[in-house]
């Protein structure tokens, strides 16, 4: 809690099975005071009651489990968030999601029922319904797509985000490979598959865009540098407008074919180019996949 009594609050929400429990365990281990499964309509009252009693950042899990029926009062969450911000609290929102087929597989593997599933709906229909009910919340949150992430990756992303000072404008550059699917929750996506591909050089193929030889190969190509300059110029013009919207987060996807070379290098370079405009984070979704 700050000297004026205001709290640093991190709300954890999103789809069932997408990683919220991992996030809350990670935050608890990182020193957050964690509360889970709170009805959205009681959020402001909870903060009022427990705020004076804690001396740590607060993480609260809110999702469709917290109310009866089909989502209950989850629609009250955006208004509750604004109420807390109006009261002076620094509120950030993390929304966890995954592709429908991934969520269905996770529930099947664990043999646990979806918390919203009933006899009148299939699992696929339930996943779709939950996503629809969470749409308003998703619109005001920073997204983490856990479809291709292990628990350790997810925990690392959460720790990185939680360490970003509250109240800053945060930009996440995420590299990915189109052949593995476009990540969920992207605000802007730049397709860089038109650039010369290091994959076709046998010496460079096993490496990634973070390795010196691949970096030198891409940096020496004027077309690659032109793409970098054009994207950086676009972001330099428009990131301040996004920041003034106002909004706290923006996710920029950089996609190449496999997500190991061109997109990785460009995401790293663009984060450097735009460092003065926002708090930067970088995530490479497919860098560990085989070429």
pLDDT tier, 76 (very low <50, low <70, confident <90, very high otherwise): confident
- pLDDT recorded at residue 118: 77
The verdict on 221 and 207 lying in the same domain is yes
Do residues 17 and 153 both lie within one domain?
yes
Task: Say what the pLDDT of residue 4 is.
Answer: 57
Is residue 151 domain-shared with residue 239, that is, in the same domain? no
pLDDT in tens, 182-205: 998 899 999 999 999 999 999 999
CA of residue 147 relative to chain centroid, distance? 12
User: Is the pLDDT reported for residue 154 higher than 50?
Assistant: yes
Q: Which residue has the higher pLDDT, 74 or 158?
A: 158
- What is the arithmetic mean of pLDDT over 29-55? 87
Q: What average pLDDT does range 129-135 have in this prediction? A: 90
Is residue 87 located within the same domain as residue 64?
A: yes
H-only helix segments in the chain: 20-29, 43-50, 77-86, 100-110, 123-133, 135-138, 151-162, 212-219, 222-243, 262-273
Give the pLDDT confidence score for residue 68 in this predicted structure: 47
CATH code at 26? 3.40.50.300
Asked, for residue 132, whether it belongs to a domain, the answer is yes
Question: Would you say residue 180 has pLDDT above 90?
Answer: yes
Same domain, 64 and 182: no
Last residue of a domain, one of 152, 167, 182: 167
Asked which of 39-53, 66-80, 117-131 is least confident by mean pLDDT, the reply is 66-80
- Phi and psi based region of residue 71 (left: phi greater than 0; alpha: psi -120 to 50; beta: remaining): left
161 in the same domain as 242: no
Q: In a 3-state reduction of DSSP, which class is residue 10? A: strand
> Contact at 8 Å (CB) between 153 and 289?
no
Cα 242 to Cα 248: distance, rounded to the nearest angstrom: 9
Question: How does DSSP classify residue 27?
Answer: H
Which tens digit of pLDDT belongs to each residue from 236-281? 999 988 887 766 789 999 999 999 999 999 999 999 999 988 889 9
147, 99 in Cβ contact below 8 A? yes
| Domain residue limits at 105 | 8-167
Return the higher-pLDDT residue of 273 and 139.
273
Cα(59)–Cα(11) distance, integer angstroms: 6
Cα–Cα distance for residue pair 105/275, rounded to 1 Å: 39
Q: Which residues contact 256 (CB under 8 A, 6 or more apart)?
A: 175, 177, 178, 192, 193, 195, 197, 262, 263
2 within some domain: no
Distance CA(274)–CA(272), nearest Å, equals: 6
Supply angle C-alpha 198, 204, 207, rounded to 5. Answer: 105
Dist. CA 174–CA 155, nearest whole Å: 16
Q: Give the domain-ending residue among 167, 195, 212.
A: 167
Number of structural domains in the chain = 2
Query: Are residue 70 and residue 200 in the same domain, yes or no?
Result: no
pTM of the model: 0.73
Please report whether residue 289 resides in a domain: no
What average pLDDT does the segment 153-170 reach?
Answer: 81
Q: What pLDDT sits at residue 246?
A: 60
Q: Provide the pLDDT for residue 212.
A: 97
| In the predicted structure, residue 2 carries a pLDDT above the cut 60 | no
Distance between CA atoms of 220 and 217, rounded to whole angstroms? 5
**Domain assignment of residue 80, yes or no:** yes
Mean pLDDT in the chain? 89
* Residues 117, 189 within the same domain: no
Task: Note the pLDDT tens digit of each residue in 81-102.
Answer: 888 988 888 899 999 999 999 9
Q: Are residues 267 and 185 in the same domain?
A: yes
Distance CA 67, CA 130 (A): 13
pLDDT of residue 230: 98
């Amino acid at each position: 809690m700050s000297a004026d009594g205001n709290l640093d609050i991190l709300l954890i929400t999103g789809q069932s099975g997408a990683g919220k429990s991992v996030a809350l365990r990670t935050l608890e281990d990182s020193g957050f005071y964690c509360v889970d499964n709170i009805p959205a309509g009681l959020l402001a009252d909870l903060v009022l009651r427990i705020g004076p009693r804690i001396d740590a950042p607060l993480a609260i899990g809110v999702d469709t489990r917290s109310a009866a029926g089909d989502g209950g009062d989850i629609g009250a969450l955006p208004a509750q968030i604004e109420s807390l911000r109006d009261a002076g609290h620094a509120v950030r929102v993390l929304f966890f999601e995954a592709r429908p087929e991934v969520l269905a597989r996770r529930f099947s593997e664990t043999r646990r029922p979806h918390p919203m599933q009933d006899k009148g709906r299939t699992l696929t229909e339930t996943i779709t319904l939950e996503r629809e009910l969470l749409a308003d919340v998703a619109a005001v949150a920073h997204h983490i797509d856990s479809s291709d992430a292990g628990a350790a990756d997810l925990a690392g992303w959460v720790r990185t985000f939680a360490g970003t000072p509250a109240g800053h404008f945060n930009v996440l550059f995420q590299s990915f490979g189109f052949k593995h699917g476009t990540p969920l929750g992207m605000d802007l996506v730049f397709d860089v598959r038109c650039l010369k591909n290091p994959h076709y050089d046998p010496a460079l193929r096993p490496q990634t865009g973070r390795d010196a030889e691949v970096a030198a190969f891409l940096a020496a190509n004027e077309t690659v540098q032109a793409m970098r300059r054009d994207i950086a110029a676009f972001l330099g013009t428009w990131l301040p407008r996004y920041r003034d919207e106002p909004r706290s987060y923006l996710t920029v996807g950089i996609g190449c074919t496999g997500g190991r070379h061109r997109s990785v290098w460009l995401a790293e370079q663009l984060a450097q180019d735009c460092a003065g405009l926002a708090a930067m984070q970088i995530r490479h979704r497919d860098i560990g996949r085989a070429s």
